[in-house]
Structure 1
Amino acid sequence: MKFNTKTIHGGQHNTDPAYGSVMPPIYQTSTYAQSTPGGHKGFEYSRSGNPTRAALERSLASIENGTHGLAFGSGMAAIDAVLKLLKPGDEVISTNDLYGGSYRLFTKIYEDFGIQFHLVGMENASTIENFVNDRTKLIWVETPTNPMMNIIDIKAVSAIAKKHHVWLAVDNTFATPYLQRPIDLGADIVMHSATKYLGGHSDVVMGALVVKDDFLAKKLYFIQNASGAVCGPQDSFLVLRGIKTLHIRMQRHCENGAAIAKYLVKHPKIEKVYWPGFENHPNHLIAKEQMDNYGGMISFVAKGNNYEDAVSIVEKLKVFTLAESLGGVESLAGHPASMTHASIPKVEREKTGVVDSLIRLSVGIEHIDDLIEDLEQAIG
Structure 2
Amino acid sequence: MSDKKPATVAVRAGICTDTQFNAVVPPIYLTSTYSFPQMGEVPQYDYSRSGNPTRNMLAEALSELEGGAGGIVTNCGTSAINLLVSALLGPDDLIVAPHDCYGGTYRLFDSRARKGDFNVTFVDQGDPEALSAALARNPKLVWVETPSNPLLRVIDVAALCEKVKKVGALVAVDNTFLSPILQQPIALGADFVVHSTTKYINGHSDVVGGVLIAKEAEQAEELAWWANCIGATGAAFDAYLTLRGLRTLAPRMKTHEENSARILAYLQTQPLVGQIYHPSLTEHPGHEIALKQQHGFGSMLSFELDGSEQQLAEFVKTLKFFSLAESLGGTESLIAHPASMTHRAMSDEAQAEAGIKPSLLRLSVGLEDPDDLIADLDQAFTKAAEVKG
Q: 8 Å contact 2:190–2:215 — kept in the other structure? A: no
SS in 2 for 1:341: coil
The equivalent residue for 1:207 is 210
Offset at 1:271?
1.1
Using the size of structure 1 for normalisation, the TM-score is 0.96
- The one of 362, 375, 385 aligned to 1:373: 375
**118-127 or 294-303: which moved more?**
118-127
- How far off its partner does 1:213 sit? 0.6
Q: Could you list the per-position Cα deviations for residues 47-105 of structure 1 after superposition, in whole angstroms to 9, with x for gaps in the alignment? A: 00001001111111111111201100000100000111100011110111010000110
> 1:262 — aligned with what?
265
1:27-51 Cα shifts (integer Å, max 9, x gaps): 1111011111343541110000001
Distance 1:77 1:37 in 2: 34
Q: Residue type matched to 1:130 in 2?
A: A
- After superposition, the C-alpha distances for 1:278-314 in whole angstroms (9 at most, x for unaligned) are 000111100111111111101011113x433222211
Structure 1 stretch 265-274 or stretch 283-292: which is displaced more?
Answer: 265-274
Alignment partners' CA distance in 2, 1:313 and 1:353: 22
Cα distance between partner residues in 2 of 1:252 and 1:148: 22
Instruction: Give the aligned partner of residue 181 of structure 1.
Output: 184
Alpha carbons of structure 1 residues 246 and 118: separation in structure 2 relative to 1, 3 Å: same
Equivalent in the alignment of 1:94: 97
Q: Which residue is equivalent to 2:292? A: 289
Distance 1:66 1:35, change over 3 A: same
Q: Is the 8 A contact 1:31 1:45 kept in 2?
A: yes
Specify the alignment match of 2:108 in structure 1: 105
Taking structure 2 as the reference length, what is the TM-score of the superposition?
Answer: 0.94
2:40, 2:378 → 1: CA distance?
Answer: 64
Following superposition, the deviation at residue 14 of structure 1 comes to 2.6
Determine if contact 1:47/1:228 at 8 Å carries over to the other structure: yes
Matches within 5 A, 1:125-274: 125=128, 127-133=130-136, 135-274=138-277
Work out the number of aligned pairs and report it.
Answer: 378
**d(CA) in 1 for partners of 2:335, 2:125:** 26
**Given residue 265 of structure 1, which amino acid in structure 2 is its aligned partner?**
Q
Q: For 2:231, give the aligned amino acid.
A: G
Question: What code does the residue aligned with 1:100 have?
Answer: G
SS at match of 1:56: helix
How far does the alpha carbon of each residue in 1:82-133 deviate from its partner, in whole angstroms, 9 at most, with x for none?
1111000111101110100001101112331241111111224564222124
Q: Give, in whole Å, the separation in 2 of the partners of 1:325 and 1:141.
A: 19
| Structure 2: runs of 5 or more not aligned | 383-389
Q: Judge conservation of contact 1:92–1:140 (CA < 8 Å) in 2.
A: yes
CA distance in 2, matches of 1:22, 1:41: 25
Q: Which amino acid aligns with 2:246?
A: I
Secondary structure of 2:19's counterpart equals coil
Query: Quick check: 1:14 aligned with 2:39?
Result: no
Q: Is the 8 A contact 2:302 2:360 kept in 1?
A: yes
Moved more, 334-343 or 212-221: 212-221
Contact in 1 for aligned 2:75/2:232 (Cα 8 Å): yes
Change (3 A) 1:307 1:89: farther
1:373 is displaced (CA, Å) by 0.5
- The root-mean-square deviation of aligned C-alpha atoms, in Å, is 1.3
Is 1:311 matched with 2:313?
yes
Q: Judging changes above 3 Å, is the alpha-carbon distance between structure 1 residues 126 and 154 closer, same or farther for their aligned structure 2 residues?
A: farther
Q: Distance in 2 between matches of 1:123 and 1:267?
A: 29
1:28 equivalent in structure 2 = 30
Instruction: Point out where structure 1 has 5 or more consecutive residues left out of the alignment.
Output: none
Map of 2:123 onto structure 1? 120
Assess, with a 3 A threshold, how the Cα gap between structure 1 residues 220 and 148 changes in structure 2: closer, same or farther: same
**331, 349, 360: which one pairs with 2:333?**
331
Q: Secondary structure at the match of 2:115?
A: helix
Q: Once structures 1 and 2 are overlaid, which stretch shifts more, 184-193 or 33-42?
A: 33-42
Query: Relative to 1, partners in 2 of residues 1:113 and 1:38: Cα closer, same or farther, differing over 3 Å?
Result: farther
Residues in 2 aligned to 1:38 and 1:71: alpha-carbon distance in whole angstroms: 28
Q: Is the 8 A contact 1:89 1:135 kept in 2?
A: no
Q: What displacement does 1:15 show?
A: 2.5
Q: Decide whether the 8 Å contact of 2:328 with 2:334 is kept in 1.
A: yes
SS in 2 for 1:359: strand
> Match for residue 362 of structure 1?
364
Whole-Å separation in 2 of the counterparts to 1:218 and 1:15: 24
C-alpha distance 244-201 of structure 1, shift in aligned 2 (>3 A): same
